[in-house]
Amino acid sequence: MEQMDRYPSYVVSVAGALSSTDQPLAIDTLVDRVRGARPDTKGVRTGVYRALKQLYQAVPVAPDRYGWLSHLLRDNVVRHPLSNEEVRRGYLLLDELEHAILFPQFFQNHRPDNRKVTIELFGDEVLQAEAAIEKRTWSLKLGEPFVKWIDDQGGQGRDDIIISVRDAVAGIYQVRLLPREGRDEETIEQRSIAVAAVAEELVMDLRRAERAVPAWELVALLIGRGLYVDPVPPDDLHLLLQRHSMLALLEGEGYTVADRRETSNMVRAPFARRNDNFDPMFWGT
Residues spanned by the domain of 237: 185-276
Among candidates 223, 232, 266, 230, which has minimal Cα distance to 248? 266
Q: Is residue 281 part of a domain?
A: no
pLDDT band at 112 (very low <50, low <70, confident <90, very high): confident
Q: How far separated are the first and last CA of the chain, in Å rounded?
A: 37
Point out the domain boundary residue: 44, 68, 92.
68
Report whether pLDDT(265) > 80: no
Alpha-carbon gap, residue 128 to 251, rounded angstroms: 35
Q: Is residue 285 part of a domain?
A: no
Do residues 143 and 92 both lie within one domain? yes
Residue 239 burial (10 A CB sphere; 0-12, 13-18, 19+): middle
Do residues 117 and 164 both lie within one domain? yes
| pLDDT average, residue stretch 129-152 | 95
Do residues 121 and 156 both lie within one domain? yes
Question: What pLDDT does residue 113 have?
Answer: 83
Q: Is residue 283 part of a domain?
A: no
Do residues 96 and 62 both lie within one domain? no
Give the CATH number for residue 60. Answer: 1.10.10
Contact 54, 137 (CB under 8 A): no
Do residues 173 and 91 both lie within one domain? yes
Contact 61, 224 (CB under 8 A): yes
| pLDDT average, residue stretch 191-202 | 97
Q: Is residue 217 part of a domain?
A: yes
Point out the domain boundary residue: 162, 182, 202.
182
Pick the range with the lowest mean pLDDT from 80-94, 165-179, 247-261.
Answer: 247-261
Do residues 256 and 159 both lie within one domain? no
Do residues 121 and 103 both lie within one domain? yes
3-state secondary structure at position 122: coil
Question: What pLDDT does residue 39 have?
Answer: 66
The tally of domains found in the chain comes to 3
Interhelix angle 185-206/237-244, nearest 10 degrees: 80
Do residues 150 and 93 both lie within one domain? yes
Alpha-carbon gap, residue 263 to 218, rounded angstroms: 20
Contact 192, 234 (CB under 8 A): yes
| Order of strands across the sheet that contains 65-68 | 25-26, 65-68, 58-62
Contact 190, 233 (CB under 8 A): no
Do residues 103 and 167 both lie within one domain? yes
Do residues 63 and 125 both lie within one domain? no
Alpha-carbon gap, residue 78 to 94, rounded angstroms: 11
Q: Is residue 49 part of a domain?
A: yes
Report whether pLDDT(272) > 60: no
| pLDDT average, residue stretch 177-196 | 97
| Percent of all residues in the chain with a pLDDT value above 70, rounded to a whole number | 86
Q: Is residue 243 part of a domain?
A: yes
φ/ψ of 132, rounded to 5, equals -150, 175
Do residues 10 and 83 both lie within one domain? no
Give the CATH number for residue 145. Answer: 2.40.330.10
Alpha-carbon gap, residue 136 to 134, rounded angstroms: 5
Do residues 174 and 94 both lie within one domain? yes
Per 3-state DSSP, the chain is made up of helix, strand and coil in percentages (nearest 5) of: 40, 20, 35
The H-assigned helical ranges of the chain are 10-19, 27-35, 44-54, 69-72, 84-89, 96-102, 106-109, 144-152, 185-206, 215-224, 237-244
Report whether pLDDT(80) > 60: yes
Question: What pLDDT does residue 5 have?
Answer: 55
| pLDDT average, residue stretch 262-277 | 41
| pLDDT average, residue stretch 157-161 | 96
Question: What pLDDT does residue 153 have?
Answer: 93
Q: Is residue 282 part of a domain?
A: no
Point out the domain boundary residue: 23, 49, 68.
68
Better-scored residue on pLDDT, 125 or 253: 125
Q: 33-64 pLDDT, tens per residue?
A: 998 776 666 789 999 999 999 999 999 999 99
